[in-house]
Amino acid sequence: MRILHVCESLIGGPASYLEEILPYQIQKFGADKVALLAPANHRESIAASINCFVGTYERTGRNFRSILALALAIRKSIKRHDPDIVHLHSSLAGAIGRVIVRGMLRRPRVVYCAHCWAFDRPRSTAFTQFCALVERNLSRLTDAIVNISSHEEPLLRKAGFSLNNAKLIVSGIKDLASPPDARPPVTDHRAPLRLLFVGRLDSQKGIDLLLRDFALLKPGRATLRIVGAKIVDKGDLIIPPEVELLGWVPRDTLPALFGNFDALVMPSRWEGMPLLAIEALRSGLPLVCSNHGAFPYFIKDGVNGVLMDINTSGFLDSALTILENTDRPAMSAAARATYVAMFRQEQMNRDLIGLYDSLVQTTSQSKRAPTLQSRPMKAERMIGHRAVGESRQ
């Protein structure tokens, strides 16, 4: 089986997701049968240890020139690699990729994962209704839609999607080499709570709401450290002097960083199934998160984290009151137990390969494509992670 993954952006969640599935697929099928297409200036966002073919295209933003470059790169990559499966990640790559595949003579099977649906917003607007209309029509050009959380099926049903081609494959991540140590009992209840935010400093992630509510807290009640940077939003974001901004850090340093905090704060306005949340649970770090998106499906309020109504001023104060009055080591243990029970990498990868297999078998049986054989990618010299002639960052 030959697989082509396509991303319009690698920053944040898509890169983390690919780092969980690509090594498994490379090990199962071989590095010569797995390929990735991504922006040239995002190449360093994916782990250097992933040794499959990585094709790139020039992306300067979400503008016409970059969209055209992506469309041409998708078509070129499909002709070059002749994949059995094209796995499209996120909305823009999903839209462009499905249209391109539809116009090709030899059509590979198309798998689409939104990661976070563009119309999954707290309020319905003309924009969200338009996004739902586009996604609903594009779903007819899709062989399989991968939902990464239980939140998505009712969302799609409400939006009028047929669920015949939808498959729930819950996101998962590889476990730590050594399970985290149990957290010690709290001895100083007057010490400030240590809060951590990780992610894009954009409206979707609710960073503006967090900073607003943090400013309302009594001095000394909590500390806040922020890992990340602005990606989408253009406006200025005022960071109070008492809040420490760390910028981006390597993903593999997060487990050690988590050990220095009492909770990870995720006040998102909308979310799919953020791998960051799973990473925190894996380390036994409780979540203080919004009650939107997938969070209520795996966070039990007061047990393995705290759910917040981010539409109410003072939500952070209320959440901290729960943290201050709970058995924090027990909450940490419950967070870790949630990861073990729900979010192991092995099940996700087995389910994803099972989906690919079923689509390829259907193709073979219906004779929509030539008989599938174990065949390598079309001959190309491999230098590190790039083919000769590919764009370099």
Q: Cα(62)–Cα(48) distance, rounded to whole angstroms?
A: 26
SS (H, E, C) 211-234: HHHHHCCCCCCEEEEEECCCCCCC
Residue range 353-382: mean pLDDT, rounded:
64
Could you please report the per-residue DSSP string of 84-125? Answer: SEEEEESHHHHHHHHHHHHT-SSPPEEEEE-SS-TT--SS--
Q: What pLDDT, on the 0 to 100 scale, is given for residue 381?
A: 35
Task: Report the range of poorest mean pLDDT among 122-131, 188-197, 201-210, 364-373.
Answer: 364-373
Please say whether the beta carbons of 18 and 35 come within 8 A.
no
Q: Cα(18)–Cα(10) distance, rounded to whole angstroms?
A: 9
> How much is the pTM?
0.84
Please say whether the beta carbons of 371 and 189 come within 8 A.
no
Q: Cα(127)–Cα(116) distance, rounded to whole angstroms?
A: 15
Quick one: residue 165, left, alpha or beta (phi over 0 = left, psi -120 to 50 = alpha)? alpha
Read off the DSSP letter of residue 63: S
Label residue 124 exposed, middle or buried (CB < 10 Å: 0-12, 13-18, 19+). exposed
pLDDT digits (tens, 9 = 90+) for 18-55: 999 999 999 999 999 999 999 999 988 887 778 899 99
pLDDT digits (tens, 9 = 90+) for 264-296: 999 999 888 999 999 999 999 999 999 999 999
**Confidence class for position 189, pLDDT limits 50, 70, 90:** confident
Please say whether the beta carbons of 355 and 166 come within 8 A.
no
- Provide CB contacts within 8 A for 12, sequence distance 6+: 199, 200, 231
Q: What angle do CA 293, 98, 162 make, to 5 degrees?
A: 50
Q: What average pLDDT does the chain have?
A: 90
Q: State the CATH class of domain 193-342.
A: alpha beta
Q: What pLDDT, on the 0 to 100 scale, is given for residue 393?
A: 38
Under CATH, domain 3-172+344-387 is a member of which superfamily? Glycogen Phosphorylase B; (3.40.50.2000)
Radius of gyration of the chain (CA): 22
- Provide CB contacts within 8 A for 360, sequence distance 6+: 1, 84, 85, 109, 372
Q: What pLDDT, on the 0 to 100 scale, is given for residue 240?
A: 84
Copy the structure tokens of residue 277.
Answer: 């949340």
Percent of the chain at pLDDT > 90 equals 74
pLDDT digits (tens, 9 = 90+) for 308-341: 999 999 999 999 999 999 999 999 999 999 999 9
Residue range 196-204: mean pLDDT, rounded:
92
Helix (H) or strand (E) holding 83: none
In the chain, where does the domain assigned CATH 3.40.50.2000 lie?
3-172+344-387, 193-342
Residue 6 has pLDDT above 90, yes or no: yes
Copy the structure tokens of residue 245.
Answer: 């901004």
